Amino acid sequence: PTVKEAPPVLSPRKPTRKIRVGQVEVGGDAPVSVQSMTTTKTHDINATLQQIAELTASGCDIVRVACPTDKDAAALPIIAKKSQIPVIADIHFQPKYVFAAIEAGCGAVRVNPGNIRKFDDQVGAIAQAAKDAGVSLRIGVNAGSLDPRLLEKYGKATPEALVESAVWEASLFEEHDFHDFKISVKHNDPVVMVRAYEMLSERGDWPLHLGVTEAGPAFQGTIKSATAFGALLSQGIGDTIRVSLSAPPAEEVKVGSQILESLNLRPRKLEIVSCPSCGRAQVDVYELADSVTAGLEGMTVPLRVAVMGCVVNGPGEAREADLGVASGNGKGQIFVKGEVIKTVPEDQIVETLIAEAERIAADMGIE
Ligand code: SF4
């Protein structure tokens, strides 16, 4: 049997040590995972589990839930048990919730030392409890909650300040011989964030969780995250990612997955290669591309589908794809694996492409 060659990547992953978040491995040779965070009140168990189910269906690997109150902490055991993907409890301020989350069976706990008073005193006990339970941690340094000592030293949350904070907090755990943690150094400015992660990755082999904080509404947040993650992942930096959007969390997962697919860090699924249209177009390319995208939505078959507006570049591009259409004169030439298989009237293009995609999927044994 022929072994399928792995698609090229921009650079090899920078070696990091591997940890586990529940059943998902992070770091080392584990695939880069996609995370998101629920927006429900965690103590509303049904709503939270419902959202986790939606996130799981959209391809989320790991989910984080906020835990700001006793009621939320009390909900963690059921959520951790019933969630299909590992749950990370997100803890600020109150060390008691760190212990509650570890006991609840969460896959990991995110701690923000900048927000935990007298954090240094608690490290030994947290490390021991996590070690006993086989739970990993994330040290989540955040520009908005930087240690006041470092803010004073650097004047603001510079990359150097974020990295110094992270390295210091990591050393506290390492002094207790605890190594099962990943680190994030988030900032809302992609340039600061990229510099911080680059510097941090030079300082140790910790697995890194990438994130741009407060990235903004969907459009801006998508661009900021794609730019920042692209800059880092293309250098092999980053073991798990979370896109933060002021939008439903399933959108974050879609964006995160697409970033990884674009860089060949995750197998590509359906990919629509549509032309931008121009004065030569003989069909409404935007509408056609939207209809084809909507018609093929949810198909898991790894297909490149070309939607081209005219016959100038159309047939060439359509031939490069698994499936494609080149439009012209009110008709569409349908290509499968480089061969014109038929020409159909414009109003049958979408249904023909969908039927062909389903046929290819069936041939591949994919639903
Ligand atoms: Fe223009 Fe045709 Fe190229 Fe589309 S495929 S951009 S319509 S030349």
Mutate to test the pocket of ligand 1, among 272, 274, 277 (most ligand atoms within 8 A of CB): 277
End-to-end CA distance of the chain: 23
Name which residue sits closest to atom 3 of ligand 1, judged by CA: 313
334 CB within 6 A, ligand 1 = no
Which band of pLDDT confidence, cut at 50, 70 and 90, is reported for residue 1?
A: very low
* Angle formed at CA 86 by CA 204 and CA 142, multiple of 5 degrees: 45
262 CB within 6 A, ligand 1 = no
> Mean of the pLDDT values across residues 78-87?
98
**pLDDT tens figures, 21-60:** 999 999 999 999 999 999 999 999 999 999 999 999 999 9
Question: Rounded to the nearest whole angstrom, what is the distance from the C-alpha of residue 127 to the centroid of ligand 1?
Answer: 59
Please give the model's pTM, rounded to 2 decimal places. Answer: 0.90
Q: How far apart are CA 287 and CA 32, in angstroms?
A: 34
Which band of pLDDT confidence, cut at 50, 70 and 90, is reported for residue 207?
A: very high
At 206, list the tokens. Answer: 């910790």
Which residues, in sequence order, are bridge partners of residue 21? Answer: 24
Shortest-distance atom of ligand 1 to CA 314? 5
Stretch (H or E) spanning 163: helix 159-175
Whether residue 61 contacts residue 33, with contact meaning beta carbons closer than 8 Å, is answered with: yes
316 CB within 6 A, ligand 1 = no
Whether residue 248 contacts residue 39, with contact meaning beta carbons closer than 8 Å, is answered with: yes
Shortest-distance atom of ligand 1 to CA 310? 2
Q: What is the ipTM of this complex?
A: 0.98
Q: How far apart are CA 224 and CA 242, in angstroms?
A: 12
What sign does the CA torsion over 143, 107, 109, 67 have?
positive
Name which residue sits closest to atom 2 of ligand 1, judged by CA: 310
Whether residue 140 contacts residue 112, with contact meaning beta carbons closer than 8 Å, is answered with: yes
**Chain centre to alpha carbon of residue 95:** 28
Mutate to test the pocket of ligand 1, among 272, 273, 280, 335 (most ligand atoms within 8 A of CB): 280
Beta strands at 271-274 and 240-242: parallel, antiparallel or unpaired:
unpaired
**pLDDT tens figures, 209-260:** 999 998 789 999 999 999 999 999 999 999 999 999 999 999 999 999 999 9
> Mean of the pLDDT values across residues 297-309?
86
